[in-house]
Structure 1
Amino acid sequence: MELFVKNMVCDRCLMAVKNEFNKLGLTVLSMELGKISIQEEDISSVKEDLAQNLESLGFELMVDKKTQTVERIKNLIVEMIHQNNENLRTNLSQYLAEKLDKDYNSLSSLFREVEDSTIEKFYISQRIERVKELISYDELNLNEIALQLHYSSVAHLSSQFKKTTGFSPSAFKKQTATSRVPLDKL
């Protein structure tokens, strides 16, 4: 049986969710961001407990197909930006359409309907969060960050950063308390 969980955005999320499944005696066969395959075909006896346990950790067991698809889109974007930079070379619409085996226009419409925002805005917000993360590590200069995240130029990165955050990258770096947002809050 496949189950879908909202707000799974990192490897620690996978571990936390798997732990909750194991606590309830469910056998996890495979996991990826937002999706879990379990051996059991009927979980009605533990479904309410599972939903409550996940909710207490900031996750949500999803049953609505539209919400599942939107969460899958978000997870693919998070994975693309935060875990596999090479996919950033790929056209976003093509990447999502191929991964989800659906027309991008229908994915875009569905995303807008459920989230009241666009896929592109979500994608940009994720990229900017990644830029903030890399700036705060202070290991790469802005040119290296632009290259790593496949921006066309440092000027493009800086412009998008300022438009999104209200700060230039250098002003952000000088801030004592960085204003990073957890990925599941974007």
Structure 2
Amino acid sequence: MKIYIKNMVCERCRLAVISILHNNALQYSSVQLGVIDFDDTYGAQLPDEVQKSLAEQLNDMGFSLLNDKTSKLIENIKIACLDFLQHVEKPDKTTLSKHITATIPLEYNYLSNIFSEVEGITIEQYFIRLRVEKAKEFLVYNEMSISEIAFQLGYSSVAHLSGQFKKVTGLTPGYFRTLKNEKLRSPLDKL
């Protein structure tokens, strides 16, 4: 049995969920971004009181259980986008759509239509927002030059990064860096 969780976007999120499972003495076979696999430990479903308690503790940490099929699908698309973002600088030339369909074995047009209906934006627009937020993180912490950030995030040029950055934020990356304001950033799980 698997339980799907919303807002798990990084390794720290995964560790927080594992901590909750350990605190409740719940046995599991694996915890990945967005999903806890209990195997057959608890049968087809967790006991209601256990599931309710787990849901409350997850909510306290900023996560939530996904119960309907569409919500699970949307969350899986978001996780696939985050995974693609983490590997986008590698020159294997896989596209976002191919990565998503390799992760979720459904037609991309179907996934794109469902995502747009529910989220109000396209998958590509969502991915652009993710990239811009990651660029903001790099800019705030002043770790790399703008050209290094562009390369790290898989942009073809600094101009491409700057154009998308300005379209989303209304600011250029250079000006954003001078502000050094963390409040202008959004957590990736809130996109």
- Pick closer, same or farther for the CA change 1:103–1:93 going to 2, 3 Å: same
The AA in structure 1 aligned to 2:125 is K
Q: SS of the residue aligned with 1:4?
A: strand
Distance 1:34 1:91 in 2: 22
Moved over 3 A (4+): 82-85
Deviation at 1:136, TM superposition (A): 2.0
Question: How big is the alpha-carbon RMSD for the aligned residues of Structure 1 and Structure 2?
Answer: 1.6
The AA in structure 2 aligned to 1:43 is L
Q: SS of the residue aligned with 2:154?
A: coil
Comparing 63-72 with 139-148, which one deviates more in the overlay?
A: 139-148
Gap runs ≥5 in structure 1: none
The AA in structure 2 aligned to 1:174 is T
Q: SS of the residue aligned with 2:29?
A: strand
Distance 1:27 1:87 in 2: 39
What does residue 186 of structure 2 align with?
181
The AA in structure 2 aligned to 1:64 is D
What does residue 7 of structure 2 align with?
7
Aligned ranges 1:106-117 → 2 under 5 Å: 106-117=110-121
Deviation at 1:114, TM superposition (A): 1.8
Deviation at 1:68, TM superposition (A): 0.3
What does residue 167 of structure 1 align with?
171
Checking the alignment, whether the CA contact within 8 Å between 1:18 and 1:28 is kept in structure 2 is no
Deviation at 1:152, TM superposition (A): 1.2
The AA in structure 1 aligned to 2:179 is Q
Q: SS of the residue aligned with 1:46?
A: helix
Q: Provide the identity percentage.
A: 40
Distance 2:119 2:21 in 1: 28
The AA in structure 2 aligned to 1:21 is L
Deviation at 1:15, TM superposition (A): 1.0
Comparing 139-148 with 46-55, which one deviates more in the overlay?
A: 139-148
- Pick closer, same or farther for the CA change 1:71–1:32 going to 2, 3 Å: same
Checking the alignment, whether the CA contact within 8 Å between 2:140 and 2:181 is kept in structure 1 is no
Q: SS of the residue aligned with 1:90?
A: coil
Deviation at 1:139, TM superposition (A): 2.5
Q: SS of the residue aligned with 1:15?
A: helix
Show CA shifts across 1:5-45 (max 9, x none). 00001111111111222222211211111011013224124
Aligned length: 186
TM-score by length of 1: 0.93
Distance 1:31 1:79 in 2: 15
Distance 1:161 1:184 in 2: 19
Aligned ranges 1:26-45 → 2 under 5 Å: 26-38=26-38, 39-41=41-43, 42-44=45-47, 45=49
- Pick closer, same or farther for the CA change 1:87–1:10 going to 2, 3 Å: farther
Q: SS of the residue aligned with 2:171?
A: coil
Gap runs ≥5 in structure 2: none
Aligned ranges 1:56-135 → 2 under 5 Å: 56-82=60-86, 85-86=89-90, 89-135=93-139
Distance 1:162 1:84 in 2: 21
